[in-house]
Structure 1
């Protein structure tokens, strides 16, 4: 059975909106402020995560961003790994997908529940804020890996939007990445 993992870059105040500057958000591109040692350390941790990933789960816009940023044609071990990993795309827009990808069909909750049964290992969700909210709301997330960047934005869409109930989490790991990033790993506490 698979494990659904949400892996996100978040600002210190929890914002996930437009980290690379493609959506027109007032603080668009905030993630690009990382440079030097922090950026290199971040990339090393992300590559390590990719090596342990059995499948990617992506919303349509995040999938298109991955393609637009050249991951499908980029050189190097990290890009090779991302190309090799099967990608499952949440989309209501019919169309052809590239890059070892399929569209999840039907109801999101049912489709992700089936995917969880079919994949043995980590199914990692990158970006895809609306999908992340839905998975959190329906208690389908097994682990959250948050790369907390040293920026407070004060506004913007956050990873945790409105929920129908309290979502208790337990910290199971923390790690300093570079000189300014902290990676926090949480797991839901299921029967509180």
Structure 2
């Protein structure tokens, strides 16, 4: 059975918006303002995560962002991401140019539940804020991996939106990445 793993880069105050500065958000670009050695350490963690994934699950906007960048890249990390099966939740996409991509146009909850039955291993969700909130709301998230960047933005889209009821989580791992980043891993505390 597959495991839905949310993997997010977040500011200290929970902002996920425009980490690269390409979306025009006035506080965007916070990812690139991180120390070089920390970004190198982050890249090692992200590459290892890609090696451990069996599939990617993305929302439309995140898919378009990744699909515009990764197919033209080379190297082991690019080879891994480009070869992974990719599932895209979208009601509007018709053509998926990134190889091994499949659009999920039906009911998100049903489609992702079915995907968890079909894929053995980690199904990693990058970015995809709206999708993350839908998965969390419907108790489809099996693990949260939050890479915390040491900056407070004070504004911007946060990772978590409103949910209909409390979602207790249990911390299962914490580690320092480089000198300034922290990776926190949580699992739902089902039944808590």
TM-score, with normalisation over the residues of structure 2? 0.97
> Secondary structure, in 3 states, of the residue corresponding to 1:80?
helix
Q: Partner of 1:90 in structure 2? A: 89
Q: Secondary structure at the match of 1:51?
A: helix
Mapped partners of 1:94, 1:121: distance in 2: 26
Give the conservation status (yes or no) of the 8 Å contact 2:60–2:93.
Answer: no
Q: 2:102: which partner in 1? A: 102
Q: 2 CA distance for matches of 1:103 and 1:24?
A: 27
Q: 3-state SS of the aligned residue for 1:106?
A: coil
Q: Take 2:8 and 2:185, find their aligned partners in 1: how far apart are those partners?
A: 11
Q: TM-score, normalised by structure 1?
A: 0.97
| Structure 1 unmatched ranges of 5 or more | none
Runs of 4+ in 1 over 4 A off after TM superposition: none
Q: Helix, strand or coil for the counterpart of 1:103?
A: strand
Distance 1:2 1:140 in 2: 11
Secondary structure of the structure 2 residue equivalent to 1:8: strand
What's the secondary structure of 2:158's corresponding residue? Answer: coil
1:10 match: 10
> Separation in 2 of the partners of 1:58 and 1:178?
27
Aligned to 2:72: 73
Gaps of 5+ in 2: none
Q: Give the drift of 1:152.
A: 0.6
2-structure distance, mates of 1:184, 1:6: 11
The CA distance in 2 between the partners of 1:90 and 1:21, in whole Å, is 24
Q: Does 1:23 align with 2:23?
A: yes
Quote the Cα distance in structure 1 between the aligned partners of 2:169 and 2:93: 36
Offset at residue 157 of structure 1 (A): 1.1
